[in-house]
Amino acid sequence: MLICASGQKHDFIVDTGSVESIIPQSVLTELYPSAVIVPTDVNIRGITGHSVPSVGRRTIPVSLPQNTSIDCNFLVPASGPSIVGLKVLRSLQTSIILLPSVNGNELKQLISKCSKPTNGMKSPKVRLEFTGMSIFLKRRIIRFSLRQPVRQSLNLMCAKGILTPVESSNWATPIVTPLKADGITPRIYGDYRLTLNTRLLQRTYTTEEPEDVLYRSSGASVVSKIDLKYAYPQIPLDEASSNPTVINAPFGLFQYTFLPFGLNVSPAAFQQVMNTIAKDLVGIETNQDGVIVHAADKTTQDVRLLALLRRFSESNVAIHRDKCIFGVPSFSCLGYIMDGRGFKPETKRLSTSAYLESFEDLTFNKDRGILKKVIKEGSRDIKPCPEDTVVVHYVGTYFGGEQHGEQFDSSRAREKEFEFTIGKGEVIKAWDVGVATMKVGEVCELIAAPEYGYNDGKTMKFEIELFDTKGMDVSTKKDGSVRKSVLDKGRDLLTPTVGLDADISYRTFGGPDSQDFRDVSYIVGDPATNAIPECVDLAVRHMHTGERSLVRRAGLSEAPAGDVANAMEQAYEVRLRTFEKAKRLQSLTTFTEQISYAETLKSKANDYLKISKFDLALSLYERLHDDLQYIIPNGVEEHKILDGVITAVRLNMALVYLRLRDANNCSDKCNKILETDPSNEKALFRLGQACLLRKDHEDAAVHFRRIVQTNPNNTAAAQQLRVCEEAINLAKEKERKMFRGVYERFKETGLGAPGSADTSTTDMEKSAA
């Protein structure tokens, strides 16, 4: 022990077997050069029986922590060790604890035993308290390259008893699969923030801050750090608590039998169990999956370590032998360096703290759980909107702690961009929040605290580059050429109908803030009349009252040379103020009202057809045709009226398809009519015209001939029949000429007998006639 005398510190050996204390004359002279030694007849005898003669006695004032001192009596031999005996120890009011000797073999055996896998801790099963209805979410699609590794990880967790397959459940949470440092093996976590975490009752038990744990350990001369294997999945759950932990993977449903990562109560539950196991053990500090053993000397530390490992052995606690540190004077822990002088932040912790000063806090309550720093500004002033699909590259590393800077996942290493939907919970919370603030082309660093990441106690840093953000595809061909992103949601469920009126406001996106919106009323589906961009009209068809959206039209690759406006991407901000609500025929009360409104819609569609606005006309016809199928007539007369309206609509739809040169759909509508009215002249005529579109003159002639046979006065059908017959005769004449040419070539080459050739010619000519 260190004793301060005359303002100087000197190291003494503590000998509880000696009553007297000893200070050699050389040390005394160094402390007190003019010290007077009082003669004495007391000699010093060692435990082996040998005698050490003393020069005399000397009283030395020893300084105490309270800025006071006490006189202590020492024997002074000529030489030898400095020893503090029981008299001085009692004068200094020092507590004496006699330590048993530690069996080194037992320590080794316990370390080896605790390093082996167990079937979970022998602790009371954790019970999760929750309220509210169960939540079942469908599984997420996992990219093909990860499917086999994920299957293997699930199988391994089942083999260890951590997971159990289940046939069905009213709870299910989709999984997230971040990769481990090897870049190959996935971790399996349930994304419980969408399900169980919203229902769990929080525990009053909390985890301590690292500084509190290290403060109690500071000043220790010898320390050990025990790292637990598996951590949370060592603690068993009771059966009722296992049911809501079901995860939904591509290969089925799996239920946790042990405490999973990702639950917001797991840290508190785990800490409570660990504190219970280490209860009443002196010099033991528990902090999640790390346990610190500290003492002033190695003997005491070994005794404390032995006591802890005995508890671990009794409780089936598994440790990670390769990550444990035993009996060292200092070590790094929880971002600090701890030794006999106390604890101080690691250099990398100080550097990370200063590093974070330039980051923006993105959290709602400003708890610095999501931090962002822009590395490269975006190339376009477009940010993702809720439910947009974003395309990114990222590199994920651990931030702070022992794994600081270690990479655990990278889309760049896989050479494949990553896509996810904003606000759908497909990624960790930090990503949903952080990526939504990025501009297209931007590169940023994102720091995610554990509660905004995987809830595994590790802070992560991501370098993310946003390549594109894609809203709902509203293009007619579903080729992504026109997309809509919702900036402000609307108020109702209905959307505008093609052919009816809508009031909108729109302006070019990215223009000056002072640029006015253009307010316009127009017929949905007819943007050209009011000089509205077609992409705006396509988006309006999918908007709700009061909705404000960003509409983007991709640049046209087929734009004429010099047409810069169409070659570049266009973006518009659009607001839907009001629109005409379409009635459904089935919502009307009487058959008369239904037929009357149907005639109104048909007349409106006919008007569009007359002025060649075929898309508008077809849209109204299709909607009307669908609604007519739900009208229930009463009696023969109503049946006749309804069939007449349906036939008229189908005939007009066939005419529109003819104008659009869509022979297949035209034929389909005509054949539907002919099923119930085989002699309908208009259906037969338009069916014949559809055949002509396909250059099928023979089938066309059949349909036109049927019309003429039943109505010889139908001059249009008779004319089309003549056209078909002329085309057929012309084709046959071409065939005859072709066969004659083939015959002549055969004769010239001498192939075939003249007699047989003559016979063949006659047969071919007869066949082609």
Active site residues: 394, 408-409, 428, 454, 462
Which one, of 397, 383, 310, 395, lies nearest residue 348 by Cα?
397
The DSSP bridge pattern shows strands 69-77 and 8-11 to be: unpaired
Query: 248 with 225: CB under 8 angstroms?
Result: no
Query: 443 with 463: CB under 8 angstroms?
Result: yes
Rg (the chain; Cα; Å) = 45
Backbone phi and psi for residue 109, each to the nearest 5 degrees, phi listed first = -65, -40
The angle at the Cα of 585, spanning 579 to 587, to the nearest 5 degrees, equals: 85
Query: CA 520, CA 532: separation in Å to the nearest integer?
Result: 9
Query: 316 with 122: CB under 8 angstroms?
Result: yes
Query: 705 with 711: CB under 8 angstroms?
Result: no
Query: CA 173, CA 218: separation in Å to the nearest integer?
Result: 43
Query: 639 with 628: CB under 8 angstroms?
Result: no
Query: 122 with 318: CB under 8 angstroms?
Result: no
Which one, of 229, 268, 273, 253, lies nearest residue 163 by Cα?
253
Count CB neighbours of 539 within 10 A: 29
Residue type, 80: G
Residue that has been written with the tokens 């409570």 in this structure: 272
Query: Partners of 291 in the beta sheet?
Result: 226, 286
The DSSP bridge pattern shows strands 570-579 and 284-287 to be: unpaired
CB within 8 A of 234, min separation 6: which ones? 118, 120, 121, 228, 258, 259, 316, 317, 318
Which H or E run includes 72? strand 69-77
Which one, of 670, 659, 724, 667, lies nearest residue 697 by Cα?
724
Strand order in the sheet with 518-523: 472-473, 482-488, 548-553, 570-579, 501-508, 518-523
* Chain centroid to CA 737: 71
Three-class secondary structure assignment of 324-389? CEEEECCEEECCEEEECCEEEECHHHHHHHHHHCCCEECCCCCCCCEEEEEEECCCCCCCCCCCCE
How many angstroms separate the first and last alpha carbons of the chain?
127
Query: CA 726, CA 714: separation in Å to the nearest integer?
Result: 19
